[in-house]
C-alpha cells in the first residue's frame, strides 16, 4: 500500500493528460491565432519574434473568450510555474513564459512539461504528499498532494477550454 495516494493522483493525471493530448493532436497555428470574438485574451508578437500573452486584470465574463493561443500559453504557463516552484529554484515569473509561436511548438512544449511532471510525480512518496516542503506555487502551507490535485484539475480545465474553442473554430470556419 506504499504510495497509494500518489498512484491515485497519477491515474487521475493520466486521464486528464489523455484528454489534453487529444485536443492538442491536430491543433493548427491558424486555429491558435484565430480570435473567437473582438475581445478576449490573446498573444501578441514582440519585435524579437517572441510572443507575449495578455494578462487579465480581472476574471469577469466581460473579458471575452480567450484565443486558443492564449489557452495553450496559459496551460504552459501554470505547468512551467508549478514545475519550477515545486522542483526547481522557484524563480520563474509569468513574464518569463512566452507562447512558443506555432501549434507544433505548443505540442512540443506541453509534451515536454508533461514528461517532466510525470517523472517528478513518479518519485514523490505519500509522505512527501503530506508535506508542505514543495508547496510554493500556486499556494503555500498546504500538503503537496493539494498541488498535484490542483494541477490535475487545472489540466482537465485547460483541456476542456481548448476543446471547446476548437469546436467554435470548426463551425466558424465552416460558415
Condensed to tens digits (0 to 9), the pLDDT of residues 12-35 reads 999 999 999 999 999 999 999 999
State the Cα–Cα distance between residues 95 and 58, nearest whole angstrom: 17
Q: What is the pLDDT of residue 76?
A: 98
Domain ranges for the chain: 4-33+72-174
Q: What is the pLDDT of residue 173?
A: 74
Identify the bridge partners of residue 171 per DSSP, sorted by sequence position: none
* Mean pLDDT on 97-122: 98
43-45 and 51-53 strand pairing: antiparallel
pLDDT higher than threshold 90 for residue 175: no
Q: What is the pLDDT of residue 46?
A: 97
Q: What is the pLDDT of residue 114?
A: 98
- Tell me the torsion sign for CA atoms 108, 87, 69, 168: positive
Q: Is residue 105 classed as helix, strand or coil in its secondary structure?
A: helix
pLDDT higher than threshold 70 for residue 51: yes
CATH architecture group of domain 4-33+72-174: Up-down Bundle (1.20)
Residue 2: which pLDDT band, with cuts at 50, 70 and 90? confident
Confirm whether pTM is higher than 0.85. Answer: yes
Condensed to tens digits (0 to 9), the pLDDT of residues 53-108 reads 999 999 999 999 999 999 999 999 999 999 999 999 999 999 999 999 999 999 99
Condensed to tens digits (0 to 9), the pLDDT of residues 132-161 reads 999 999 999 999 999 999 999 999 999 999
Q: For residue 106, what is its C-alpha cell?
A: 505548443
pLDDT higher than threshold 90 for residue 3: no
pLDDT higher than threshold 70 for residue 1: no
Amino acid at each position: 500500500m506504499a504510495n497509494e495516494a500518489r498512484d491515485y493522483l497519477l491515474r487521475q493525471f493520466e486521464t486528464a493528460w489523455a484528454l489534453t493530448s487529444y485536443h492538442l493532436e491536430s491543433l493548427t497555428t491558424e486555429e491558435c491565432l484565430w480570435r473567437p470574438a473582438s475581445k478576449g485574451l490573446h498573444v501578441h508578437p514582440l519585435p524579437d519574434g517572441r510572443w507575449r500573452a495578455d494578462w487579465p486584470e480581472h476574471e469577469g465574463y466581460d473579458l471575452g473568450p480567450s484565443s486558443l493561443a492564449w489557452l495553450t500559453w496559459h496551460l504552459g504557463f501554470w505547468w512551467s510555474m508549478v514545475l519550477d516552484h515545486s522542483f526547481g529554484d522557484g524563480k520563474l515569473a509569468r513574464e518569463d513564459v512566452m507562447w512558443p509561436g506555432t501549434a507544433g511548438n505548443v505540442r512540443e512544449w506541453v509534451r515536454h512539461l508533461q514528461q517532466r511532471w510525470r517523472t517528478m510525480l513518479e518519485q514523490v512518496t505519500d509522505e512527501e504528499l503530506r508535506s508542505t516542503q514543495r508547496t510554493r506555487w500556486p499556494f503555500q502551507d498546504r500538503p503537496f498532494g493539494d498541488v498535484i490535485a490542483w494541477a490535475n484539475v487545472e489540466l482537465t480545465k485547460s483541456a476542456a477550454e481548448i476543446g471547446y474553442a476548437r469546436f467554435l473554430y470548426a463551425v466558424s470556419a465552416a460558415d
